[in-house]
Structure 1
Amino acid sequence: MRLHVGCAMWSLASWQGRLLPHPLPPAERLRAYATWCNAVEGNTTFYATPSRSTVETWAAQTDPDFRFIVKLPKTITHEHRLKGADEPLRAFLEAIEPLGPRTHALWVQLPASFGPSDLGVLGGFLQRLPRTWKYAVEVRHRAFFSDERSQRLLERALAAFDAEWVPFDTVTLFQSPPTSDAERDAWTKKPRLPRRSRALTGRPILRYLGRDATERTVEGWQPWLDTVAGWLREGRTPTVFIHTPDNADALTLARRFHDEVRARVPELDPLPEPMPNEPLTLF
């Protein structure tokens, strides 16, 4: 039984020398991160399709059971809105192929303007995708959360292709006014939507955003501990990503979330011990 946990990135300046060894060449940073967490959000691919050789280095730094949830490029999801994007989609799928089984899901994050009237487009897009990969969809249109009919239609569209609905829980962030520059920035950029905890497949994916203060973040994820423990007992294989506005302690928080779930499900496999933050030497 395994719970995969991770962060929004595998390299952050505030981690270097404090949590991860420093200096580390770029080709070794993911390897160091993977001793802390066993999953990562593939956010960089949203902005540009990486070269195949770059993706080969990602695969070389991780074990086959490490999980990437890889985001489709914005040219496909936001600019083309899932229509007429065959060429950028082909290039993307070819680029990520070296990840092999590490690609746990391809993540279709849709803009807030993509609403219930667009579900036919989403269904057509999912139907054309190769069955080589599993898929997960994140929506941000409020109707999918506030209107039961729209919610049912989306769930039906996803179920037809065994695709998961990815919730982004930002409730804790918006519970009280921001107290730092990072929190103020997150307030302007992150979606303000109700919490959703229903899994559609055996592979639920959760994105949770807390606060810069550790105690606020931990307090906010309490409802998720029983939910994730329940998924595990049902035989599901969840992946949970822990965010904070500045992400300074996201690595340690992801491991703490895993530990707190394991306290409820003792048969859960533990995470390995992380790499020491001192650079390795010969003597």
Structure 2
Amino acid sequence: MLYLGCPQWSSSHWKGRFFSQHCQNANMLKEYAGIFNSVEGNTSFYANPKPDTILQWRDAVPDDFKFTFKVSKHITHELALQNCQKETLEWCNLFSPLFEKMAMIMVQLPANCGPEHLYRIEQFVTMLPKELCVGIEVRNLGFFQKDENEKRFNQYLIQHNINRIIMDTRPLFSEPANTPAIIDAQLKKPRVPVNVIATGNRPMVRFVGCSNLKENRHFYAPWLNKIRGWLKEGKEPLVFFHTADNYDSPLLARQFTQDLGIDHKVLHPFPAEQQPKQGSLL
């Protein structure tokens, strides 16, 4: 199984381009789930949704759709994974109705969380439900030095079937910062080495594309064989497509899938493409 998606399911820019022209905000997730089979749940990083909202999300998608959600930044960044048992339990209880449709819990760590804090990561993971898949994204360059620190981190992940989330921001940083969206994205996204490794059964790639869709092919070409290889090994990769403003993220996902050469519903007509065209008046 290959899970594909974008970093969001709601965008007013997608109405009439990918979603149906008059798609209501409440229906965006349902239409999104007709195009993709997974999504990055980044909103949970910034604020906790209401319990009723969790139930609405669960009921809006088919059984084969899988969410990923980031653990709250209050836990990972503000508390720095320390003395957070109560907050972690509350977060897990809140999202428990979605567990059956959860591909992964994403733990995004701040740049100041280096190898010297590995014990914090290990302690924190023990608080998470055992039945759930976990992915960890590190942004401290100490985890990318090909040394004993990185080896120890990767061995820990492999031992516990935890996925090391891979950020590929090379396309984003290959273009000049000449628009507000690119400037903002380059300020926020990490510029870290692309560490290609599958430490768990659900390797995740977060691919941040450049503005020119075709130029992304140069950057994701090596990923095509890697994804094919993981699928042959029985792994279940997750690949999420970003752009600076995410305006064309679904097109980037479709182009990648076409080049990958597998059948996926992102290749089917978008809801906007299924709408009848208005005839011209003669």
TM-score > 0.5 by shorter chain: yes
Matches within 5 A, 1:1-283: 2-261=1-260, 263=261, 268-271=262-265, 273-277=268-272
Q: C-alpha displacement at 1:139, in angstroms? A: 0.2
Aligned-residue CA RMSD in angstroms?
A: 1.8
Unaligned runs of 5+ residues in structure 1 are none
AA at the equivalent of 1:58: W
CA contact under 8 A between 1:232 and 1:238: conserved in structure 2?
yes
Q: C-alpha displacement at 1:132, in angstroms? A: 2.4
CA contact under 8 A between 2:99 and 2:132: conserved in structure 1?
no
Distance in 2 (CA, whole Å) between partners of 1:188 and 1:100 is 33
Q: C-alpha displacement at 1:275, in angstroms? A: 4.6
Distance in 1 (CA, whole Å) between partners of 2:180 and 2:164 is 31
Q: C-alpha displacement at 1:279, in angstroms? A: 9.6
AA at the equivalent of 1:123: E
AA at the equivalent of 1:39: S
- For 1:1-31, what per-residue CA distance to the aligned partner results, in whole angstroms no more than 9, with x for missing partners? x211100000112111221013323321100
Distance in 2 (CA, whole Å) between partners of 1:201 and 1:157 is 11
Distance in 2 (CA, whole Å) between partners of 1:61 and 1:190 is 30
CA contact under 8 A between 1:170 and 1:192: conserved in structure 2?
yes
Match of 2:280 in 1: none
CA contact under 8 A between 1:212 and 1:246: conserved in structure 2?
no
Q: C-alpha displacement at 1:160, in angstroms? A: 3.3
AA at the equivalent of 1:97: S
Distance in 1 (CA, whole Å) between partners of 2:136 and 2:10 is 25
- For 1:76-130, what per-residue CA distance to the aligned partner results, in whole angstroms no more than 9, with x for missing partners? 1001111111222122111211223211110000000000000011111112322
AA at the equivalent of 1:277: A
Q: C-alpha displacement at 1:49, in angstroms? A: 1.4
Change (3 A) 1:85 1:121: same
Distance in 2 (CA, whole Å) between partners of 1:142 and 1:168 is 13
Q: C-alpha displacement at 1:217, in angstroms? A: 2.1
Report percent identity of matched pairs: 35
Q: C-alpha displacement at 1:247, in angstroms? A: 0.9
CA contact under 8 A between 2:39 and 2:68: conserved in structure 1?
yes
| Runs of 4+ deviating beyond 6 Å | 278-281
| 1:221 counterpart SS class | helix
Structure with the bigger RCO (C-alpha within 8 Å, sep 6+) is: 1
Change (3 A) 1:62 1:141: same
Q: C-alpha displacement at 1:274, in angstroms? A: 4.3
More deviation, 99-108/168-177:
168-177
| 1:212 counterpart SS class | coil
Q: C-alpha displacement at 1:44, in angstroms? A: 0.2
Q: How many pairs were matched up?
A: 275
Distance in 2 (CA, whole Å) between partners of 1:206 and 1:248 is 19
